[in-house]
Amino acid sequence: MRPVLFELGPLSVHGYGAMWALAALAAWWVVRHELARRAGRPDAAGALTIAALLGGMVGARLYWLAEHLRSVGLTESVSGAGFTWYGGVIGGALATLLVAWRMRVSLPALLGAAAPALAIAYAVGRIGCQLAGDGTYGVPSDLPWAMSYPDGEVPTLERVHPTPVYETLVGLLIFAVLWRLRARISAVSLFAVYLVLSGVARFLVELLRRNDAVVLGLTQPQLFAAAFVLIGVGLLAVRPAARSDLPVPAA
């Protein structure tokens, strides 16, 4: 855990911000590579990545503020802390769809490029949560790899599950699966597989997280994760994972 990676005079480089930047860079590379292959549109990758990043940040922040409207003061409301994953999903999706429509990028090409890009971005972004100790860690644990976050943005002296580490590892695994499948199944099917895998992963990790249950013993992230799985399964049922008509890439 290292909230501040290093300092350059008066400038502090925070781990959370650095990982956001690396996540965006990784997503841009994947989107550019896949849009070039699928639609001959690598030029759209930059605008789409910026839209996803800014839309995700705004959505995550607004959702968090809406959830904590009665408990946060003016200082907290303008600080850099406080982002909600599902708010980021909504904001990022809306912004990306708008830019894709304006740039005439087809929906299948967008979905096929977005699936592995989202997986790798999520994996890298969770490293930032681990470095910052932002409270996304899990419940107390006595496992050998459990750890405390005494200097985190949301500190704890208890040894807890380092759930951001779990999510990074699972995110990398999901990315590897999607990357392997990307030229073997259709773009829509690939995105459906992403929804199922990421939804299952998030639902399970919530069993170790500290979020409160809201409906039927489930947390808000679990409800969103269950929706991801249902949508993904529905897409696969309507449109089975047929082989792509694109050639299998060499790498």
Segment 96-119, tens digit of pLDDT: 999 999 999 999 999 999 999 999
Residue 73, classified by CB atoms within 10 Å of its CB into exposed (0-12), middle (13-18) or buried (19+), is exposed
Q: What is the pLDDT of residue 77?
A: 43
Q: What is the residue extent of each domain of the chain?
A: 4-178
Q: Which two tokens stand for residue 93?
A: 């999706």
Secondary structure (DSSP) of 207-220: TTB-PPEEETTEEH
Q: What is the pLDDT of residue 12?
A: 75
Segment 154-187, tens digit of pLDDT: 899 999 999 999 999 999 999 999 999 998 999 9
Say how far apart CA 27 and CA 137 lie, in whole Å: 24
Q: Is 185 helix (H, G, I), strand (E, B) or coil?
A: coil
Put simply, whether the predicted model's pTM sits higher than 0.75 gets the answer yes
* DSSP β-bridge partners for residue 7: 12
Q: What is the pLDDT of residue 145?
A: 95
- With a CB cutoff of 8 Å and minimum separation 6, the contacts of 165 are 126, 130, 145
Please check whether residue 125 is in contact with residue 145, taking contact to mean a CB–CB distance below 8 angstroms. no
pLDDT tops 50 at residue 31: yes
CA–CA distances in Å: residue 197 to residues 109, 200, 201: 20, 5, 6
Segment 121-161, tens digit of pLDDT: 999 989 988 988 888 899 999 999 999 999 888 899 999 99
- With a CB cutoff of 8 Å and minimum separation 6, the contacts of 190 are 111, 112, 115, 116, 178, 181, 182
pLDDT tops 60 at residue 70: no
* DSSP β-bridge partners for residue 6: 13
User: Which band of pLDDT confidence, cut at 50, 70 and 90, is reported for residue 26?
Assistant: very high
Q: Which two tokens stand for residue 55?
A: 């839309």
User: Which band of pLDDT confidence, cut at 50, 70 and 90, is reported for residue 194?
Assistant: very high
